[in-house]
Chain A
Amino acid sequence: GAVVSQHPSRVICKSGTSVKIECRSLDFQATTMFWYRQFPKQSLMLMATSNEGSKATYEQGVEKDKFLINHASLTLSTLTVTSAHPEDSSFYICSATGLRAGNEQFFGPGTRLTVL
């Protein structure tokens, strides 16, 4: 299957700072990338869908000014958590799909964010 990487794998930051997470498709062109958040012992909750070159579509209840998503190329999408607070601590996972992928979404390894 296709490979999706995510960086960093783990980040600890102070409350009020911003954190950027990168999601890269390494061997295919990702026309669409998805960002999920997963709290402990819960399911994956979709935060937003991003298509290359256009603005992201956010799910209901997700603040677009707090979670900035940029999908500037067919291989890279970034999620920036602005003014992070302890309640933003979670496991953030991206996935990518494209023409080569058919229906399948390929998931990144996830980023564990801890806000102190």
Chain B
Amino acid sequence: GENVEQHPSTLSVQEGDSAVIKCTYSDSASNYFPWYKQELGKRPQLIIDIRSNVGEKKDQRIAVTLNKTAKHFSLHITETQPEDSAVYFCAASRGGNEKLTFGTGTRLTIIP
């Protein structure tokens, strides 16, 4: 089955700096890669996703890049703000109604 690895497990950055979280996946048939933000005790919130026919996608301060050959995808947050502090999860799926496999999570702390 699919295996998703995520690094780093914790990340602290100064407010205004950029944060990068990286994931790798094992299943070459995976073609859908969402990123979620989860605050304590809350549901995961989809912040951005990418499909395998696209190499990069951007939404304001958030961007995701995908290297399908290397089976890597990364989340980039620029101009970080205190409200970006949360746990972030990457995930991978074969798309459609297929299940998601989640990474282990990254606790991001923005230092004011």
Residues of B within 8 Å of A105, CB to CB, are: 100
Kindly supply a per-residue 1/0 record for chain B positions 40-69, scoring 1 wherever the CB is within 8 Å of any chain A CB and 0 otherwise.
011111100101000000000000000000
Output the least CB separation between A2 and chain B (Å). Answer: 11
> Cβ of A49 < 8 Å from any Cβ of B?
yes
Output the least CB separation between A88 and chain B (Å). Answer: 18
* Bound CA span A50–B100, Å: 13
Residue among A1, A43, A95, A104 having the largest count of chain B Cβ atoms under 10 Å: A43
Residues of B within 8 Å of A91, CB to CB, are: 41
A46 in contact with B100 (CB, 8 Å): yes
> Cβ of A8 < 8 Å from any Cβ of B?
no
Residue among B43, B49, B89, B101 having the largest count of chain A Cβ atoms under 10 Å: B43
B103 in contact with A46 (CB, 8 Å): no
> Cβ of A97 < 8 Å from any Cβ of B?
yes
B103 in contact with A108 (CB, 8 Å): no
Query: How many residues in A have their beta carbons less than 8 Å from beta carbons of B?
Result: 24
Output the least CB separation between B9 and chain A (Å). Answer: 10
Assuming the contacts A46-B100, A103-B96, asked whether A108 and B43 have C-beta atoms less than 8 A apart, the reply is: yes
Can you report 29 residue pairs joining A to B where beta carbons are below 8 Å apart? A32-B97, A34-B99, A42-B104, A43-B89, A43-B102, A43-B105, A44-B44, A44-B89, A45-B102, A49-B99, A51-B97, A93-B43, A93-B44, A95-B100, A103-B32, A103-B34, A103-B49, A103-B51, A103-B93, A103-B95, A104-B34, A104-B46, A107-B43, A107-B44, A107-B45, A109-B42, A109-B43, A110-B42, A112-B41
Chain B contacts to A: CB under 8 angstroms: 32, 34, 41-46, 49, 51, 89, 93, 95-97, 99-105
Chain A contacts to B: CB under 8 angstroms: 1, 31-32, 34, 42-46, 49, 51, 91, 93, 95, 97-98, 103-105, 107-110, 112
Besides A108-B43, A110-B41, 10 new A-B residue pairs in contact (Cβ under 8 A), listed by A number = A42-B105, A43-B89, A46-B99, A95-B100, A103-B51, A103-B96, A104-B34, A104-B49, A105-B100, A107-B43
